[in-house]
Amino acid sequence: MIDEIRIKIRTREYEFSKHAVDQSIVREISVAEVEEAIDGRSEIIEDYPEDKYGPSCLILGITETGRPLHIQCSYPSRPLVKIVTLYQPDPDLWVDFRFRK
């Protein structure tokens, strides 16, 4: 599934939810960083097939500058992948940014 998400990000077949736009501004995460994080070293670390707004997953991605990001997005089966929320994970709450403490 991560490969399909990467393709949609590369071809700009994605959109941000209003919440994700707001959070990207507050948390100073650029669109370029989101694209880098997903297109580069990224992996799905949590899966939410029963999410109330539709199936989604949590991706851990690393930007070109080494910034870890968590990006929750819809499954790639949608015409546009929807970025639901995004944040830089708190190391006090995550082990290797992959597992919740």
In whole angstroms, what is the distance from residue 34 CA to residue 46 CA? 17
The pLDDT tens digits of the residues spanning 53-82 come to: 899 999 999 999 999 999 999 999 999 999
71's enclosing H/E stretch is strand 68-74
Residue 53 is predicted with a pLDDT of: 86
pTM over 0.85: yes
The pLDDT tens digits of the residues spanning 10-62 come to: 999 999 999 999 999 999 999 999 999 999 889 999 999 999 889 999 999 99
| Neighbouring-strand partners of residue 48 | 56
Q: How confident is the model at residue 92 (pLDDT cuts 50, 70, 90)?
A: very high
Q: Domain coordinates of the chain in residue numbers?
A: 2-100
